């Protein structure tokens, strides 16, 4: 069965994906300067500290920009096109971006500025990704 590509966790990203698979959105945060780093890093780009911890976040944010994919070139996505891909900015910090397909919304409903909230999509048994739906 064709499925969306499943993330391959590595040493840096494993805590993120473990939390997601347990139903929590956690983002790496620099212990020293408190800057959220996503994707997770070794060295904080702001203060160069190597001390980080994963912190659960509210799961809310706003749509920053988006596209609607009409012509995907991968079978898992041609099956469901057209679909939105939105860049959302989490409420915790400006510039803290994640992607989402805005599940449950019609493509015409997707607009910059709308509020969103996290949910989790199962790609294959036991493996999830965060998604963000419109807060209605």
Number of residues that bind another protein (CB under 8 A): 46
DSSP for 64-105, please give it.
EEEEEES--SSHHHHTT-SEEEEEEEETTSTT-EEEE--TT-
* Nearest-approach distance from CB 126 to another protein, in angstroms: 15
Over the range 73-104, which residues count as b (16 or more CB within 10 Å of their CB) and which as e?
eeeebeeeeebbbbebbbeebeebebebbbee
Nearer to another protein among residue 118 and residue 129 (C-beta): 129
Decide if residue 58 touches another protein (CB under 8 A).
no
Task: Please give the DSSP secondary-structure letter assigned to residue 132.
Answer: E
Among positions 25, 61, 83, 116, the unique one binding another protein when judged by CB under 8 A: 83
The residue written with tokens 């996290």 in the block is 118
Q: Taking the complex as a whole, how short is the minimal distance between the CB of residue 85 and another protein, in angstroms?
A: 5
Q: How far is the CB of 135 from another protein (least distance, A)?
A: 19
User: Using CB under 8 A, which of 15, 55, 62, 64 touches another protein?
Assistant: 64
Length of the chain: 136
**In degrees to the nearest 10, what's the CA dihedral of 60, 66, 71, 77?**
-10
Q: Return the residues of window 5-34 that contact another protein according to CB under 8 A.
A: 5-10, 13, 17
Residue with tokens 């400006």: 94
Among the listed residues 60, 62, 85, 133, the single contact to another protein using CB under 8 A: 85
State yes or no: residue 112 binds another protein (CB under 8 A): yes
Provide the binding-site residues for another protein, judged by CB under 8 A.
2-10, 13, 17, 37-39, 45, 64-77, 80, 82-83, 85-87, 95-101, 107, 112, 123, 129
């Amino acid at each position: 069965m064709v499925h969306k590509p499943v993330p391959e966790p590595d040493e840096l990203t494993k805590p993120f994906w473990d939390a997601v698979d347990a139903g929590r959105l956690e983002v790496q945060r620099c212990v020293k300067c408190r800057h959220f780093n996503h994707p997770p890093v070794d060295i904080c780009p702001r203060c160069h500290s190597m001390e980080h911890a994963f912190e659960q976040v509210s799961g809310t944010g706003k749509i920053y920009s988006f596209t609607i994919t009409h012509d995907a070139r991968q079978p898992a996505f041609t099956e469901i096109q057209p679909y939105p891909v939105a860049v959302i900015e989490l409420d915790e910090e400006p510039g803290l971006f994640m992607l989402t397909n805005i599940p449950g919304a019609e493509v015409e409903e997707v607009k910059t500025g709308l509020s969103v909230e996290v949910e989790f999509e199962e790609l294959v048994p036991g493996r999830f990704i965060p998604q963000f739906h419109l807060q209605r």
